[in-house]
Amino acid sequence: MTIQFSCPTCLKELDEGLKCASCKVSYSFKEGMYKFVEEKDTHTWDTYWKRIPVYDTVLDFLRKIMNLQLRRYLKKFLPVSGVALEPGGGSAYVSALLAEQGFSSYALDYASAPLMLAQKQLQSRAVLVQGDMFHMPFSEGVFDLTFNNSTLEHLSNPLDALNEMKRVTRKGGYVFVGVPFTYGPLCVYKLKKSSFKGAWDGTTYDRAGLKKLFSDAGLEIVGSRTFFFSCFVGVMGRKVD
């Protein structure tokens, strides 16, 4: 199933040429991905995704284990023919895994570097979208599941991101967020002043804090779990209105 793109500024559906009739802005499809943001805004995260031999191989291996666990959990909620979106997905392992199994899978990231990795390294069959997770190029209520791991802790306004994830999810659909767990090994985040690659620090959450974020977004909480050796805590919410 394919989703029609909408203008991230005015939310009008785009025509086949990815042009907004209202804003008179044209978006593009280049190098295997739909592009809704300017490359110049993505520098920090592009740097984060620059490959360093051995270090990134190890990290990718760990990421894969974590995302296999995550996919297993998400699939409990995803209908067989569902449409899933992973905003802030990075190299989008989970989207790639879901797409491999025939799900309609969309992965969105602000930076092109991880999306290129998704394409080349993972041979991902997910639809790749370079866009801003605060203003996504989708109409309201089009996804069965919208999920993210390990991004909201980096944002100064995580509730706005969660609200946007809720907006694009259909009524009755699911929203999942995973973040570093305060009482797990990643609590060392709090002790660090700066970090390798400049992007590792972030807020940690306990279960109650993450659940509160979901309640503030008006999502019904249907589950929560820690995963990847308690490094992360996740909450699954449902859009009821």
Ligand X SMILES: C[S@@+](CC[C@H](N)C(=O)[O-])C[C@H]1O[C@@H](n2cnc3c(N)ncnc32)[C@H](O)[C@@H]1O
**Interaction partner, residue 71 (ligand X, Zn ion, none; CB < 5-8 Å by kind):** none
- Nearest to ligand X of 89, 184 (CB atom): 89
Min dist CB 167 to Zn ion, Å, is: 16
* Apex 33 CA angle, 5 and 74, nearest 5: 75
**Interaction partner, residue 90 (ligand X, Zn ion, none; CB < 5-8 Å by kind):** ligand X
SS3 182: coil
On whether the CB atoms of residues 49 and 91 are closer than 8 A, the answer is: yes
CA dihedral for 205, 209, 213, 218, sign (positive or negative):
positive
Q: Does 119 bind ligand X (CB under 6 A)?
A: no
Q: Does 45 bind ligand X (CB under 6 A)?
A: yes
* Apex 143 CA angle, 141 and 147, nearest 5: 120
Side chain identity at residue 108, one-letter code: L
Phi, psi for 182 (deg, rounded to 5): -55, -35
Question: Distance from CA of residue 173 to its chain's centroid?
Answer: 16
- Nearest to Zn ion of 22, 47 (CB atom): 22
Of residues 191-220, those binding ligand X (CB under 6 A): none
Q: How many residues bind Zn ion (CB under 5 A)?
A: 6
* Binder among 35, 36, 95, 109 for ligand X (CB under 6 A): 109
On whether the CB atoms of residues 147 and 169 are closer than 8 A, the answer is: no
- Per-residue contact track with Zn ion, 5 to 44, x per CB under 5 A? --x-xx---------x-xx---------------------
Residues that bind ligand X (CB under 6 A): 45, 63, 87-90, 109-111, 114, 132-134, 148-151
